[in-house]
Structures are given as C-alpha cells and as structure tokens.
Amino acid sequence: MPFGGEANPRRSAQGIERFSCRFHRYFFICNSRQRAATKLLIGSNEKEKCVPRYRDDLHAESDSISRQYRFLPNSTPCHDEAPMTKNKQQPCVIAHRGASGYVPEHTLMAKGIAHAMGADFIEQDVVLSRDGVPVVSHDVHLDTVTDVAKVFPHRRRSDGRYYVIDFTVAELKTLSIYERFDRVSGNPVFPTRYPTGEGEFRIVTLAEELRFIQNLNRTTGREAGVYPEIKRPLWHREQGMEITPVVLRVLAEFGYANPEDRCFLQCFDSEEVVAVRKRHGYRGRLIQLIGSGHDVESGTDYNRLKSHEGLAEIAKVVDGIGPSLPAVLTTIEEEGDSQLVSTGLTEMAHSFGLLVHPWTFRADALPSVVSSSQACLDACFQTVGIDGLFADQPDAVVRYLRSLREVGS
C-alpha cells in the first residue's frame, strides 16, 4: 500500500488476525490488575497458546511486531523532538479512539495496536458511570457500541436510549463492546471494518487504560502520550455529577498535570475549557475542540472560535485547537481541476501560537473535499501545515510522515 494510501479491508483484516495473538503476549506483561482486565480481550481457546512461557520469547515477539509495524527506536515522533509547546515541531499522530479502523473503538486491543503502530498519542473519550468512575467511551449512550439492549433490556430511559451514567462500573464490565452500529437498523457504520457483534471486548476505566499505556511505554521502550476528552460536562452536571474534577484527579494520579507531561486534554465546551484552566488550575496542555455552528447544549459558538477575535481570546487559555478536517481544508476550481487548499484557519491559529490538531482521518471514509488518502495527507501536512492529526488508521499517517522524513534526509 502506498504511503497514506487507501486501506485494503481484506488485507487489514488478515493482518489483525495474524498479529492479534502477538498483542495478547504484550498485554500479559502488564501488572496483575491489568492482566485481569486484559484477559477479557482473549477468547478461552486463545489463552494458553498466547501466554509467553519465557521472557526471551516475549522479547523476540516484541522485536517481530516492531519490525512489522516499523515503530523503531530511532523513529522521531513529535514528543521526542522537544518539549511540546506552541513552537513548531514534528507533526504528531493521534490514534482516534485507538486503532479504531481495525478493531472496535476504545478497547484495550485498539489502544495496544495503536501503540505498536507508532501513534504519538492515544485518545480517551471520558464519561462517568453511575458510581462516579470515569470510563472510556465516546458517547454518553451505550446502545451503538455494546450489547446493552440485550443484557439490560429494561434499563433504557423514556427516550429509548441506554446511558453510561445509569450503570455501575461492575455492570458496564458485563457488556461486550462491538464495532459501531446503527441502533435502529443494526447495520455497521463502517461495513468493511471489524465484524459487528464479534469479539470479547470490554469497557475499561480511565485509570485502567492509563495504566495499560504506561505499562506498554515501559515494556516497549517507546513513549506514547495520552489525549483524553472531557465529554459533555454540562450534561453530566445536569445529571448531578461533576466530571471535570474527577478526570483531572485521575490524570494527576498518573502524572499528567504539567506542560511537560505527554498529555493533551480536550473538550468542546468553551466555558468548561476556561474553567479547567482558571477554576481548576490545570497546568497541562489544553485543546479547544471546535465543531460546527452553535452548540445548543453548551452555548459554545464555534463560528466565533474560528474567527480572529475568537482565536485571540482562547489563545490566552489553550495550547491549540481541534477543528474538523473540512474546517482546515477546502477545494477550489482552477482551470477545470479541483485543488485542495487551506481555509486559512490553520494559518490564523498559528499566528496566535496555537497548535492545530484536526479530526478525523479515515482511509475508508474520507471527507468529501478530498479524493484519496494521499491527497488528504499531502494537503494536511504539506499544503496546510497542521501540527497533528487524529486518525482511525494511525499506521497510515505514521508511514506517511516517516516517508517525508526519509525524503528530507
């Protein structure tokens, strides 16, 4: 596959099948608590043959995975260039919900694969359980990524939806995570991805995932950072819970509280972003996520945030912005040909010293303004000059950036 080229679903599925057992070996080198959580990822028929009997076997397997996915010790991810500040540096690759283009999102398997693929940062979307524990899930709802309707058929609300906040951690861990699907039709959102309804994947807490990533950092010798998002803080408040202080406390417990720590904290709610910095005193790196239009729930005006005045204001608080890809890329017609050009948002953000980390590169679901993965990545990194990119297929972006470094050298 060419650098940044289209993902081959058949080849990708076969690749995941071949090295899934190897990742089970990785998982078993973690501490006992993490091993207990990770066993949920492994089918009963796989447990015995995947457990490494000798440490030398483990190192040999680790080297094999490193060669296959090219995360080499001499690679230069962005966090190894210099302390992450507002200064220009190597672009970084952010694994969007893990390697979610290959296995179900926000599973430990997805995070382990993303780590081995060489992602610089691995994302965690965070919501609260009924007992106030931060868990990793993209939505406050459960019914598009789990079998909650089957396991707890009578626990839906009057709107017909199942909410994470209505279940304890113990209850959440009885659910299976599936590839994202439409809750009405049951059809997969991404038909060529991991088969919906298959696999033994479980919900994990934020603490469990942070520990898992740090254990992989230690055992592989390659440092991946974390990129948590505080999900819908105002909604949590309306449910009687404050999510922000809980998330900040867990991050601090794992050493993610200062500017030099390998962590970006993100949120769409602009008032909450200001509160994180000023009221809660968070000193780490902070990203203002930017959607489209006006968010009714939080009152955030994204159009204003993308303006000169809006960027000037948030630059006093945050280290960067996280807009959508269409917010930084557009097409123009020139002599009958469509060309990808910058919208000007990235340049304007850079003028205020802000980093720009757009979302989301999906090789199997590209934005309408781009014709191919190669064109998308060329435009992002060479035409526009973004500082990092969220990706469902982080390996494609890692290979692309490595190719640029090799040409440059």
Written as tens digits, the pLDDT of the chain (409 aa) is 333 344 444 344 444 444 454 454 444 443 343 344 333 333 333 333 333 333 333 333 334 434 444 333 333 446 444 334 344 679 999 999 999 999 999 999 999 999 999 999 999 999 999 999 999 999 999 999 999 999 999 999 999 999 999 999 999 999 999 999 999 999 999 999 999 889 899 999 999 999 999 999 999 999 999 999 999 999 999 999 999 999 999 999 999 999 999 999 999 999 999 999 999 999 999 999 999 999 999 999 999 999 999 999 999 999 999 999 999 999 888 777 788 899 999 999 999 999 999 999 999 998 777 788 999 999 999 999 999 999 999 999 999 999 998 887 5
For residue 339, the model assigns a pLDDT of: 85
Range of the domain at 301: 9-142+203-408
Q: Kindly report the CATH number assigned to the domain that includes residue 118.
A: 3.20.20.190
The answer as to whether 299 is a domain residue is: yes
Active-site residues, by number, are 96, 138
For residue 88, the model assigns a pLDDT of: 61
Q: Count up the domains in the chain and report the number.
A: 1
For residue 11, the model assigns a pLDDT of: 40
For residue 149, the model assigns a pLDDT of: 97
For residue 73, the model assigns a pLDDT of: 34
Q: Give the residues across from 229 on adjacent strands.
A: 125, 266
The model's pTM: 0.81
The answer as to whether 196 is a domain residue is: no
The answer as to whether 323 is a domain residue is: yes
The answer as to whether 4 is a domain residue is: no
The answer as to whether 155 is a domain residue is: no
The answer as to whether 90 is a domain residue is: yes
Are 398 and 103 within 8 A, CB to CB? Answer: no
The answer as to whether 231 is a domain residue is: yes
| Preceding amide of 360 cis, omega within 30 | yes
Q: Which of 164, 330, 162 is nearest to 231 (CA)?
A: 164
Largest CA distance in the chain: 64
For residue 409, the model assigns a pLDDT of: 59
Q: How far apart are CA 130 and CA 124, in angstroms?
A: 19
| E strand or H helix that includes residue 19 | helix 9-27
The answer as to whether 148 is a domain residue is: no
For residue 369, the model assigns a pLDDT of: 75
